[in-house]
Structure 1
Amino acid sequence: MMKTLDSLAMKLLPIANAIGNQRHLQAIRNGLISILPLTIVGSFFTILLNLPIPGYSEMIAPYLAALDVPFRFTVGLMSLYAAFTIGSFLGNTYKLDKITSGFLSMLATLLMVMPINLQEGMDTAGNAVASGRYIPITPLGSQGLFGAIVAALISVEIYRFTKEKKLEIKMPEGVPPVVGESFAALLPTLLVILVFWIPRHFFNFNLNDLLSLAISPLKVFLTGNNIFGGIITQFMICLFWALGIHGHAVLGPIIRPFWDQAIIENAELFQNGTSAFQLPNIFTEQFYQWYAQMGGTGATLALVFLFLFSKSKYLKQLGKLSILPGIFNINEPVIFGTPIVMNPLLAIPFITVPIVNTILVYIVTTLGWMPKMMVKPPFSIPAPLGALITSNWNWVACVMVFVCFAVSLAIYYPFFKMFEKIQVEQEQQAEQEDSAAVSEGI
């Protein structure tokens, strides 16, 4: 078994390194992580509007429009913010000016979603609007995330091309660097405008809609209601971790845009009055955090709990050190301290438990007994509270956390006992050797 894991690790490690070190994927991952404060704080306003307090809805009714503003200008504009951060990170890898890279990415995103053929005071649907042009907010939310990503990547590549070919206006020496960079960005700005403005406004080419159509099958598979997508996602993340490869770092650049789009789509629909039971996406990142991966990847909180009552001195001490981080979904101490990495005995439940939990909660959700997730709180919130917050305070969701924990304990237990036996024997042997060494010394 160990040889199989070693062989698999040797084959997957080059692939994982290639993905993890690819500059465009790194920029996407870092850019999306950078907007977490906006999406998390924006989600709290969704929670604020839906507190389970009798008479609360009537009390805040006069202020609903005002209370909705923070959500709309954080979560509702996530694509615009993501364009800036992704462009900045990618530009930095090319040693380009980060601010210029971010601004060009935002410019491209806005040009891509701007309505065309507007009459004075009238939109394309014939609805009256304030005189002049306007920017719709919907494509700048979750719907436009992949368009923003592509716009950011193309814009920075245009900027890089002009730099490499020295197609820029150079100012004399002695001019402040900020001024020099501004003039150097004139040509790439013009090129970005032409590349995104002409197709959109002269040929009615909607890149955002085309991308949404192209990725919709993959989105539905990974984050919609397809149980096979949920299983594969869990299997791959846990397998990489079991081989000593950071699963989220490898798969994050690929799947995180889908996760973010799924939870924001749920949040926007819920904010607009859709029942939490009727939301489209089951497999959001929050689904995995609070149910499948309680305590961190591999649902290791159950294993840490078993360690607390272990006959092995080392495992018991490791359990004491890991229980508090585990409650807050941080499990590197137990993954590397046990270790679970390259450990055939514990790798089996480490991979199996999240998959079983995923299937179990999927069945309960599809039966209509509990709602889908619709806000994005911090990952470090303990599972029962996290499940309550993200499910619109549904008690069944909270109960399912404890059901999943019990299932995790049941699956981990026989493997834990086998591993504990080996660990106890090693400790006893070490004690005997130490005692023999002391006796010989006397």
Structure 2
Amino acid sequence: MNGFMSFMEQKIMPTTQKIAGQRHLLAIRNGVISTLPLTIVGSFFVIFLNLPIDAYMEWIAPFRHILDIPFRFTVGLMALYAAFGVGASLANFYQLNQLSAGLLSVLAFLLASVEPIQITKAVPGVIDAGRYISVGTLSATSLFGAIVTALIAVEIYHFMIKHNISIKLPDSVPPAVANSFAALIPTLVVILLFWGIRYGLKFDVNTTITYLIAPLKSVLVGNNLFGGLLTVFLIVFFWSFGIHGPAILGPIIRPMWDSAILENMEVFTATGNAHQLPNLFTEQFIQWFVWIGGSGSTLALVIMFMFSKSKFLKELGRLSFVPGLFNINEPIIFGAPIVMNPILIIPFVITPLVTTTVSYFAVVSGMIPLMMAKLPFTMLAPIAAIISTDRTIMAGVLVLVNFVISFVIYYPFFKMYEKQQLAGEEENRMLGAIIILITFVAGQCIAHYSKWVQSKSLLVLLLVSILFIGCSMGAYVAFSLESPYFIIVPTILCATCLSAKYRFTSMALIQRVKEMQKHGA
């Protein structure tokens, strides 16, 4: 096991960290994540449009089409927003003007995916004559097309700026104007490229990219149990070695996750039936049913730590409980630690695989519907699961069942780790007792045999002791020293010397008083 971990740390981790830091993958991750507020707000409108209350549905029926508008302009245009976000993120890496790059990315995506429609004759009461575009190609289904076209557009922009193929204005010109003129030639090149491909070569870039990515998407975020287990395994596997799993897989899996949940939301908005949605393994399925307390389902472990006999584990559990309730588990992953820990890695990997399987069969059996809303990941899992499955109470029950399963799996490994911690703490207590005893004896010896101590007054020794302890505390704070013995030892040493000096002084004073009384008698 140690050899395998050493191999992972020396060979695999550097590679994965390079992948996670690759500029295009970072741009995809950051750009897609930037659309999160839109998808969450759009999700709430999906819920408002489909509350299972007959009186409410009858009440909103006359203006349902108005309530649907925010959803259409958030979720329905998600690919358009993602194109801007990805382009601006990549431009930030190249230190280009982000606004120009974002607009250029949107332009490239529109040219590649949308074909204007000319209506020459009006149909009274249906449509007026004019030019129209279909917004259907701007939704989640075109997310990958938006990403690819945005990356290409910004690379063209970067290449031309880097090689001075742009219009440069004097430094006296305001930056906003200078940036606009600098983007003129790149904009022309992007227009000619994507316009020529779409209308000259009759090649649909967006549809082709969507078609090519479909097989991988169907495996990872469709209804395939193997794909769901693979995604979960890879995330916890990377976490086991201290690598942020979603950061590594995010550029690949997050666009698929977002596309999947947005497709579910669109179908649910149209049908109102959460049992007949296209995608099972959305991010929300994993978030609410599997990541109970965070990646690896660690909330059960946190609660065990809270009641541990080990002082360290108990304190860590208390500190990690509130973050764990809201699905933030970095304190337990790096504090226990789970990272590189042979005992805790095993349940950390096994538990989510088991709960994923249980949840999968609960959904395919029809007991629980599919996910139809996207909520913030910091919500309490049972509540979020109920809301995300069209207010299905059994979804909350499934979360509790999975919590019990995770508790059962983690428990024997927790006991093993607790035993190990208790043994270490006992050794530390024994070592501490020995250190304190040695310090006490040393203090007594100094007080008895040091001529310097014997020659100084009690007040001088007190001032020296305060200075010595103060310097020790200063060094403890300044150098972030971990062991409290850097303060305990000087304190005991000084206290012992002062106590002995006080005793000697008192004894000498008593002896002198007795002698004076004797001579007086």
**TM-score of the superposed pair, with normalisation by structure 1:** 0.96
Q: One-letter code of the match for 1:215?
A: I
Deviation at 1:344, TM superposition (A): 0.6
- Secondary structure of the equivalent of 1:329? coil
Quote the residue 1:70 is aligned against. Answer: 70
Quote the residue 1:261 is aligned against. Answer: 259
Q: 1:42 to 1:342 in 2, by over 3 A?
A: same
For residues 352-406 of structure 1, give each alpha carbon's deviation from its aligned partner in whole angstroms, at most 9, with x where no partner exists: 1111111110011111111111111000001001101110001111110001001
The question of whether the paired residues in 2 share the 8 Å contact of 1:108 and 1:196 is answered with yes
Q: How does 1:210-229 map to 2 (within 5 A)?
A: 210-229=208-227
Question: In 2, distance between residues paired with 1:72 and 1:409?
Answer: 42
Shifted more, 61-70 versus 140-149: the winner is 61-70
Q: How does 1:101-140 map to 2 (within 5 A)?
A: 101-115=101-115, 118-121=118-121, 129-140=127-138
Question: In 2, distance between residues paired with 1:315 and 1:92?
Answer: 42
Question: In 2, distance between residues paired with 1:303 and 1:384?
Answer: 18
Deviation at 1:309, TM superposition (A): 1.6
Question: In 1, distance between residues paired with 2:117 and 2:305?
Answer: 66
The question of whether the paired residues in 2 share the 8 Å contact of 1:291 and 1:400 is answered with yes
Question: In 2, distance between residues paired with 1:401 and 1:121?
Answer: 56
Deviation at 1:40, TM superposition (A): 0.8
The question of whether the paired residues in 1 share the 8 Å contact of 2:117 and 2:132 is answered with no
| Pair 1:347 & 2:345 matched | yes
Question: In 1, distance between residues paired with 2:405 and 2:112?
Answer: 48
Q: 1:397 to 1:280 in 2, by over 3 A?
A: same
For residues 418-439 of structure 1, give each alpha carbon's deviation from its aligned partner in whole angstroms, at most 9, with x where no partner exists: 0011111111121122122222
Deviation at 1:3, TM superposition (A): 2.6
Question: In 1, distance between residues paired with 2:229 and 2:62?
Answer: 44
- Secondary structure of the equivalent of 2:115? coil
Q: How does 1:226-265 map to 2 (within 5 A)?
A: 226-265=224-263
Quote the residue 2:407 is aligned against. Answer: 409
The question of whether the paired residues in 2 share the 8 Å contact of 1:230 and 1:283 is answered with yes
Quote the residue 2:305 is aligned against. Answer: 307
Question: In 2, distance between residues paired with 1:327 and 1:117?
Answer: 51
Deviation at 1:305, TM superposition (A): 1.2
Gaps of 5+ in 2: 441-521
Quote the residue 2:499 is aligned against. Answer: none
Deviation at 1:331, TM superposition (A): 0.4
| Pair 1:29 & 2:29 matched | yes
The question of whether the paired residues in 1 share the 8 Å contact of 2:114 and 2:137 is answered with no
- Secondary structure of the equivalent of 2:132? coil
Quote the residue 2:16 is aligned against. Answer: 16
Deviation at 1:164, TM superposition (A): 2.2
Aligned length: 439
Choose which of 273, 276, 281 in structure 2 pairs with 1:275: 273
Question: In 2, distance between residues paired with 1:308 and 1:48?
Answer: 39
Question: In 2, distance between residues paired with 1:291 and 1:322?
Answer: 20
The question of whether the paired residues in 1 share the 8 Å contact of 2:88 and 2:99 is answered with yes
Quote the residue 2:88 is aligned against. Answer: 88
Deviation at 1:53, TM superposition (A): 4.0
Quote the residue 1:59 is aligned against. Answer: 59
Q: 1:42 to 1:14 in 2, by over 3 A?
A: same
Shifted more, 67-76 versus 427-436: the winner is 427-436
Shifted more, 331-340 versus 432-441: the winner is 432-441
For residues 397-418 of structure 1, give each alpha carbon's deviation from its aligned partner in whole angstroms, at most 9, with x where no partner exists: 1110001001000000000010
Deviation at 1:2, TM superposition (A): 2.5
Q: 1:68 to 1:117 in 2, by over 3 A?
A: closer
The question of whether the paired residues in 2 share the 8 Å contact of 1:142 and 1:264 is answered with yes
Q: One-letter code of the match for 2:23?
A: R
Gaps of 5+ in 1: none
Question: In 2, distance between residues paired with 1:384 and 1:3?
Answer: 40
Q: How does 1:271-420 map to 2 (within 5 A)?
A: 271-273=269-271, 275-420=273-418
Quote the residue 2:426 is aligned against. Answer: 428
Question: In 2, distance between residues paired with 1:140 and 1:72?
Answer: 10
The question of whether the paired residues in 2 share the 8 Å contact of 1:121 and 1:128 is answered with no
Q: Considering only CA atoms, is the larger Rg found in Structure 1 or Structure 2?
A: 2
Question: In 2, distance between residues paired with 1:165 and 1:309?
Answer: 64
Question: In 2, distance between residues paired with 1:320 and 1:256?
Answer: 32
Q: 1:305 to 1:274 in 2, by over 3 A?
A: same
For residues 291-314 of structure 1, give each alpha carbon's deviation from its aligned partner in whole angstroms, at most 9, with x where no partner exists: 111110100001001112211111
Q: 1:196 to 1:439 in 2, by over 3 A?
A: same
The question of whether the paired residues in 1 share the 8 Å contact of 2:83 and 2:106 is answered with yes
Q: One-letter code of the match for 1:315?
A: L
The question of whether the paired residues in 2 share the 8 Å contact of 1:236 and 1:247 is answered with yes
Question: In 1, distance between residues paired with 2:354 and 2:439?
Answer: 54
Quote the residue 2:472 is aligned against. Answer: none
Q: 1:351 to 1:411 in 2, by over 3 A?
A: same
Q: One-letter code of the match for 2:69?
A: V
Question: In 2, distance between residues paired with 1:328 and 1:54?
Answer: 33
Structure of higher RCO (CA pairs closer than 8 Å, 6+ residues apart): 1
Q: One-letter code of the match for 2:199?
A: H
Question: In 2, distance between residues paired with 1:214 and 1:347?
Answer: 36
Shifted more, 249-258 versus 48-57: the winner is 48-57
For residues 228-276 of structure 1, give each alpha carbon's deviation from its aligned partner in whole angstroms, at most 9, with x where no partner exists: 1111111111011110111111111111111111111111111111521
